Amino acid sequence: MKVFIIGIAGGIGRRVAKQLAEAGDEPIGLVRRPEQAEALALGGIQTVRGDLVAMSVEDLAATMRGCDAIVFSAGAGGKENDEATTRVDGDGPRKLATAAERAGVRRFILVSVFPEAWRERRMDASFEHYMVEKKKAETQLVLTDLDWLIVRPSALTNEPGTGRVDLGLAKFHTEIARDDVAATIVELLRTPGLNRLILELTGGGMAISEGIGALAFDSAAAAEKLIARDSDKTP
């Protein structure tokens, strides 16, 4: 696969790119600083100098043309200011989706946020703004005709991955290693039959491949039921 990654220098995007490259796939993504490109190049990962906010839709489409899928894992929340959060976390996915449609790239995985993440803490107004913008991005993506998947990881850690998760339509929030989030995204990229789902992801006891396999089976079974139901209604 050739996968275009927004956020390729970040905690999850870098891990996704590394795992893809090690498997013989071709990750590529935007970086804003030369040192980011140099660090990724050491792992054989190709990058393009560019800025999601500054680039036009046409320029983004040209950059991703020929790719098989897109992963959006960028995030400005908590790092800059509310305006940056709006431009990147809120408006960025829709802009990228528009570019994907023009480039003919249908598969789009959005790394979002678990709605309950850190709700047990007293979070400031900037965090709440971040959550609102993430929700906005989700609502905009689901209105597109792309083969989208939204992945909502719970609170992220830098602990080594375990290869075991809890993945499904609705889960209790705990914590999950960034390694395991990346591994889940890579496995989802290899499961093209899973589309148009919002999945919540947290630490758990099921192997990533088993969890995704179960979801794929349930999705296929549901599709067969719909086909059978529609056939019964045909005069």
Catalytic residue annotation: 130
- Nearest CA to 154 among 111, 215, 91? 111
Q: Which two tokens mark 81?
A: 């200011």
